[in-house]
């Protein structure tokens, strides 16, 4: 058993996806499942039902026609897209009980939403079927950090502080302390949740897209570039220029990508955060500065 698998063994019950998600996954495997079947499952979780309707009517996730009830919302979203929206909301709920003293969840998920917005925006600009999967992928890219802070907060904080002090990337420090990094752990968590393979593969290779399976290479490079939006301007410009020269899918990406993503984040971040996050996170205090993503 690999180190990251062993690490998750003791956490499996604590960070498992709720029953409502598992039932939706079963419906997705049934070609004769009807919208009313999905409604019946989601109605058992009133808060989640409300979130789905809000997402269907939002300016970021939504559509031209208004959804008045859960049946309307699922009809508009579609069952495949519904899975990705459920995943986006429920993964946050799964990790909502980490104490503020251990990890600033509000800051963590705000940045996750920013990454989701960046990934979906870039997918649209690259002419890929943007859907909601790219948003969900962006949201989950650093989920491995959250799992580390749940089980081994002191070691996770040690890796973060050593990364700052020694100037090494956080993934290198994590491999020294844990024997694996947040990408490997996040990928293993996707397998634990039995998500489609695209999730585990892209999350595992997000820092090194050149190593990915050719089947997922375009999507992984897109995810990689979306993360570079948050890097220093010189690093971002080098990444964008290099990918535009070597990958046809990025040729049409405008040079002002950073500005376009910033505009999308400014427009949608607060609304998406309120739609997806439980009240315990929305109302949480700033938490400890040490674990703020933007200080990494």
Is 182 a member of any domain? yes
pLDDT at 215 > cutoff 70: yes
Q: What is the pLDDT of residues 51-101, one digit of tens each?
A: 999 999 998 987 778 999 999 999 999 888 899 999 999 999 888 877 777
Is 54 a member of any domain? no
Is 155 a member of any domain? yes
Q: What is the pLDDT of residues 19-44, one digit of tens each?
A: 999 999 999 999 999 999 999 999 99
What CATH number did the domain enclosing 125 receive?
1.10.3210.10
CB-facing half-sphere around the CA of 86: CA atoms within 13 A: 28
In order of 52, 135, 161, 194, the CA distances from 174 in angstroms are: 36, 26, 11, 25
Is 64 a member of any domain? no
What is the number of structural domains in the chain? 1
Is 29 a member of any domain? no
User: Which of 64-68, 122-126, 160-164, 205-209 holds the top average pLDDT?
Assistant: 205-209
- Give the chain's mean pLDDT: 88
Segment 261-276 shows an average pLDDT of 95
Is 87 a member of any domain? no
Measured CA to CA, the distance from residue 92 to residue 83 in angstroms comes to 14
Domain of residue 249 covers: 3-15+98-295
Query: What is the reported pLDDT for 175?
Result: 95
Give pTM, 2 decimals: 0.90
């Amino acid at each position: 058993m690999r180190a990251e698998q062993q690490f998750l063994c003791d956490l499996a019950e604590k960070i498992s996806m709720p029953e409502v998600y598992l039932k939706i996954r079963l419906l997705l495997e049934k070609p004769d499942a009807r919208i009313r079947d999905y409604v019946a499952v989601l109605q058992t979780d009133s808060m989640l039902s409300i979130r789905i309707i809000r997402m269907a009517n939002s300016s970021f996730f939504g559509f031209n026609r208004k959804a008045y009830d859960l049946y309307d919302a699922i009809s508009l979203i579609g069952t495949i897209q519904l899975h990705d929206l459920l995943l986006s909301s429920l993964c946050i709920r799964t990790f909502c009980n980490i104490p503020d003293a251990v990890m600033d969840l509000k800051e963590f998920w705000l940045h996750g939403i920013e990454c989701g917005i960046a990934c979906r925006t870039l997918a649209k600009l690259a002419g890929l079927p943007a859907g909601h999967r790219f948003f969900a992928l962006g949201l989950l890219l650093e989920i491995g950090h959250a799992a580390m802070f749940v089980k081994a907060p002191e070691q996770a904080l040690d890796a973060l502080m050593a990364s700052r002090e020694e100037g090494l990337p956080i993934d290198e420090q994590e491999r020294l302390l844990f024997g694996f990094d947040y990408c490997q752990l996040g990928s293993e968590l996707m397998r634990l949740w039995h998500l489609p393979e695209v999730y585990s593969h892209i999350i595992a290779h997000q820092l090194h897209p050149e190593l990915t399976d050719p089947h997922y290479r375009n999507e992984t490079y897109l995810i990689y570039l979306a993360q570079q939006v948050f890097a220093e301007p010189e690093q971002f410009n080098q990444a964008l220029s290099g990918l535009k020269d070597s990958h046809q899918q990025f040729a049409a990406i405008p040079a002002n990508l950073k500005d376009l993503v910033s505009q999308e984040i400014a427009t949608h971040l607060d609304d998406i955060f309120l739609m997806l996050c439980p009240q315990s996170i929305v109302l949480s205090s700033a938490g400890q500065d040490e674990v703020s993503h933007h200080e990494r």
